[in-house]
Structure formats: C-alpha cells, structure tokens
C-alpha cells in the first residue's frame, strides 16, 4: 500500500502522519501519479496551521506540487498520458487533492509536462513559483526593460522566480530580505540589488537605487503594516501586487500615497491564471520555453527523503532556506 501524508488536527509539522492507504483508481478526468518528488510551499504550512484561505477537512491531505510518472488514467482521459513524466500545476483545493504521498490522484487539468533537461526534483519546483510570478509581472504589469521591480521575501522560491523573470524581461530587480545573510546568494541568483530591511533604511535605499523614481511594480507576499512603506517607495502610477498574507496581521490601505501618486494596490492569486485555460496555456509556454533554454533554473535549497517529511516542513518554516525545499520519494 502506498504511504500518504495526512493530518488530523491543526498545528505545525508535528501534526503530520505518514500512513498506509490502499492504492486508488483515478476517477473520470483524473490520473494516478507515481510520485518521485514533492515541492513544499508556504501555502501548505498555512493550510495545516489553519491560516490559509480555507480550513482543512479532516482527515486532511497536503501538497500542491509533485513530479512523477502517470501510471493510470480515468474515464475520458487520453491514454497517451500513461508513462509520461509530469509535474502538477496548483489549481485545486487541498481538500480535494493532496500531492504529498508515494502516489497521488489528480485531475488531468493539473498536469504539466516539463523539459527533459530537468530532474524530477527540479520539476517539483516549477509551476507554483513561475506561474505565480508570471501573472503580476508579465501578464498584468507587462514589465519592460528599465522598469524597477521590488520583490519582497525574495529568497522564497516565488521570489527567486520573480528575479529570473525580471532579468529575462530586461527590467531591474530590487530584492528584499530581512538580514544581509542571504545577500551574496541572492546576487549570485540574479538580483540586481538586495536590501536588508532590518539593517538598512529601506525607503532611502529604494530611492537611491531608482534615483528617486521608485518601483513601478511591487511584488509582495507579506502584506501587513509594511505595505505603507511599500506604497512610499512605489513610483507614480505604479502597482503593488499583494499575493500572500505571511504577516498574518491587518493590512492598512495606504490611502494618501495612493491618492497622491495614483497607485494601484491589487490582490492576486495564482488561480487567476490556472483557472483560465487560455491564460494558463500562454503561461505554460512562457515558462516551459525558458526552462528548456536555460533562462530559468529552479533553485533547490534542500532535499529530504519522504520518511523525513516532518523535518522537511520544519525546515520550510525556519525561513533559513534560499529556494525550494523538496521531498524525494523512492
């Protein structure tokens, strides 16, 4: 019987259990995936803590991203999927599907093939991060050469994907991190400028880098009171994209900067792309092409074996990593 990650109460990684469950057959429109690697995301941590946009239904499963091989297909699914190596694209509720296990049942709509130059470990670290960053930066803001783009929490997998996208589009990235410990690595990974928000005058640094213009685009998963500082450094007519709630605190609307500079403050979720078949097709090609030619290269912070799933999520929650935490499945 395959081993599956479950949890039965809210809490941190210690609530996770690895249990044996009977292998399942995919239903209509679904496939069964033999999982090779599982990419970890902050959304899953928030889900298990009861801090996400939906509460888990117990016994709950976990996991948005997995790479593996399609073993079986359900009714209405093209049989040519069988044997293909794929990675899952988050568009679903974890109350319906969970990717953390030795096998997973998933809708065929969530499958994305990945370039042959990637390993399964790398493939488990592509769709969430690149499509999340693609939406605000490419589809909506349409960043262009010379634009200043401010990326907060830049050492996360999504933050690193944003740095790569900004570089690919010829824009200028300003990456933030709390301390200077990660500065050199962020520079090596393509950031044009790094700002340590707990050690430097954040507003002064952005004004200095942009020669007083400010950032045309701000890409922020933190929210909370710091949004007022972000508004202060956003350029006239610029946009702040809020795609997360890591601060777990009320987020004030920066009324006066918005009025005086004509700012846009916009919420964004990955589902804006993944629930739109046409938009997702365009996004997938954008990401796939750049993975294939090497412009994009997912950064793996650490890999741990499936038996150490609890330790993997503890490491994710430590915030010490730069890039993606991935669980490998034998």
In a domain, residue 166? The reply is: yes
Q: What's the domain count of the chain?
A: 2
* Same domain as 184, residue 56: no
pLDDT at 269: 95
Structural domain contains residue 285: no
Q: What is the mean pLDDT of the chain?
A: 97
Considering the domain architecture, whether residues 242 and 120 belong to the same structural domain is answered as: no
Say yes or no: 49 and 143 in one domain: no
Boundary (domain end) residue, out of 269, 284, 315: 269
Asked, as a colleague might, if the bond just before 59 is cis with ω within 30 of 0, I would say yes
Q: Is residue 54 part of a domain?
A: yes
Q: Is residue 281 part of a domain?
A: no
Span 24-34, average pLDDT: 98
**Where among 254, 269, 284 does a domain terminate?**
269
Residue 226 within any structural domain of the chain? yes
For residue 130, the model assigns a pLDDT of 98
- The secondary element (H helix, E strand) that includes residue 239 is strand 234-242
Q: Are 16 and 31 contained in the same domain?
A: yes
How far apart are the C-alpha atoms of 51 and 49, rounded to whole Å?
5
User: Can you give the pLDDT at residue 88?
Assistant: 98
Please say whether the beta carbons of 294 and 317 come within 8 A.
no
pLDDT value for 187: 98
Same domain (yes/no): 208, 101: no
* CATH number assigned to the domain comprising residue 32: 3.90.180.10
Q: With cut-offs at 50, 70 and 90, classify the pLDDT of residue 35.
A: very high
Cα–Cα distances in angstroms (integers) from residue 34 to residues 37, 70, 111, 303, 307, in the given order: 9, 6, 13, 18, 16
Angstrom CA distances, 47 to 50, 87, 94, 229, 269, stand at 5, 21, 9, 28, 15
Whether the Cβ atoms of residue 125 and residue 298 lie closer than 8 Å to each other: yes
H or E element in which residue 315 lies = helix 309-318
**Residue pLDDT, tens place only, 227-273:** 999 999 999 999 999 999 999 899 999 999 999 999 999 999 999 99
Within this chain, do residues 172 and 116 fall inside the same structural domain, yes or no?
no
Q: Is 310 exposed, middle or buried (0-12, 13-18, 19+ CB in 10 A)?
A: middle
> 79 pLDDT band (50/70/90 cuts)?
very high
Q: How confident is the model at residue 321 (pLDDT cuts 50, 70, 90)?
A: very high
Question: Quick one: 58 and 134 in the same domain?
Answer: no
The answer to whether residue 284 is domain-embedded is no
> Does residue 121 form part of some domain?
yes
pLDDT (average), residues 17-36: 98
pLDDT tens per residue, range 193-236: 999 999 999 999 999 999 999 999 999 999 999 999 999 999 99
For residues 134 and 117, membership in a common domain is answered with no
- Cα–Cα distances in angstroms (integers) from residue 125 to residues 50, 65, 284, 322, in the given order: 24, 7, 14, 13
Q: Note the pLDDT tens digit of each residue in 136-164.
A: 999 999 999 999 999 999 999 999 999 99
- 171 with 221, same domain: the answer is yes
Q: Which domain holds residue 187?
A: 129-269
Residue 84 — very low, low, confident or very high, per pLDDT cuts 50/70/90? very high
Q: Is residue 180 part of a domain?
A: yes
Domain shared by 28 and 90, yes or no:
yes
Q: Which stretch of DSSP H or E encloses residue 49?
A: helix 42-49
For residues 134 and 252, membership in a common domain is answered with yes
Q: Any idea what the CATH number is for the domain that residue 234 is in?
A: 3.40.50.720
Same domain, 139 and 153: yes
């Amino acid at each position: 019987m395959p081993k599956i990650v479950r949890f039965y109460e809210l809490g941190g990684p210690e609530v996770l259990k690895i249990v044996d469950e009977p292998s399942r057959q995919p239903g209509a429109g679904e496939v069964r995936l033999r999982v090779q690697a599982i990419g970890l995301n902050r959304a899953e941590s928030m889900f298990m803590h009861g801090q996400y946009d939906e509460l888990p239904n117990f016994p709950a499963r976990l996991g948005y991203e997995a790479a593996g091989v399609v073993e079986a297909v359900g009714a209405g699914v093209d049989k040519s999927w069988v044997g293909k190596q794929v990675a899952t694209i988050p568009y679903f509720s974890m109350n319906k599907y969970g990717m953390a296990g030795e096998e997973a049942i998933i809708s065929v709509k969530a499958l994305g093939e990945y370039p042959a130059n990637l390993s399964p470990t790398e493939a488990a670290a592509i769709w969430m991060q690149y499509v999340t960053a693609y939406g605000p930066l490419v589809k909506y803001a349409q960043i262009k050469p010379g634009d200043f783009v401010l990326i907060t929490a830049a050492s996360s997998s999504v933050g690193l994907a944003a740095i790569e996208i900004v570089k690919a589009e010829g824009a200028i990235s300003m990456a933030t991190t709390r301390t200077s410990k990660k500065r050199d690595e962020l520079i090596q990974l393509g950031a044009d400028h790094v700002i340590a928000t707990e050690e430097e005058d954040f507003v002064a640094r952005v004004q200095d880098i942009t020669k007083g213009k400010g950032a045309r685009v701000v890409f922020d998963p933190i929210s909370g009171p710091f949004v007022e500082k972000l508004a202060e450094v956003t350029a006239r007519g610029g946009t702040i994209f809020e795609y997360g709630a890591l601060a777990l605190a009320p987020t004030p609307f920066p009324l006066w900067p918005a009025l005086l500079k004509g700012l846009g403050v916009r919420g964004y979720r990955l589902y804006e792309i993944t629930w739109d078949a046409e938009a997702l097709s365009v996004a997938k090609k954008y990401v796939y092409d750049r993975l294939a030619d090497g412009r994009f290269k997912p950064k793996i912070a650490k890999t741990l074996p499936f038996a150490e799933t609890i330790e993997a999520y503890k490491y994710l929650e430590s915030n010490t990593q730069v890039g993606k935490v991935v669980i490998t499945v034998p």
